[in-house]
């Protein structure tokens, strides 16, 4: 929550913006869960998302599904 908010950009994009970008993508939960665990860069600008290896696959998928529901 230090980098993302539901409805506004902070360090990273809002959860709603993420949900809108992945709308209609059947693989979105899987893709987002992977980004939560491994991090990523270059998708939303120059600031990379750090990895969260302490989050397991099931938790990451639940987070991803929640993010996608914020549309």
Domain locations along the chain = 1-40+48-71
The CATH number of 1-40+48-71 is 1.10.760.10
Q: Check residue 27 and give its pLDDT.
A: 98
Overall average pLDDT of the 12-40 stretch:
97
Q: Is the pLDDT of residue 1 over 90?
A: no
Q: Check residue 18 and give its pLDDT.
A: 97
Question: Could you tell me what percent of the chain has a pLDDT over 90?
Answer: 94
Q: Check residue 42 and give its pLDDT.
A: 92
Q: Is the pLDDT of residue 47 over 90?
A: yes
Overall average pLDDT of the 66-71 stretch:
96
- Per-residue burial over 22-54, b if 16 or more Cβ lie within 10 Å, else e, is beeeeebbeebbbbbbeeeeeebeeeebeeeee
């Amino acid at each position: 929550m230090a980098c993302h908010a539901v409805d506004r950009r902070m360090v990273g994009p809002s959860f709603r913006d993420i949900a809108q970008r992945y709308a209609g993508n059947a693989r979105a939960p899987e893709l987002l869960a992977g980004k939560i665990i491994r991090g990523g860069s270059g998708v939303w600008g120059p600031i990379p998302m750090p990895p969260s290896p302490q989050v397991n696959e099931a938790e990451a998928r639940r987070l991803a599904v929640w993010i996608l529901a914020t549309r």
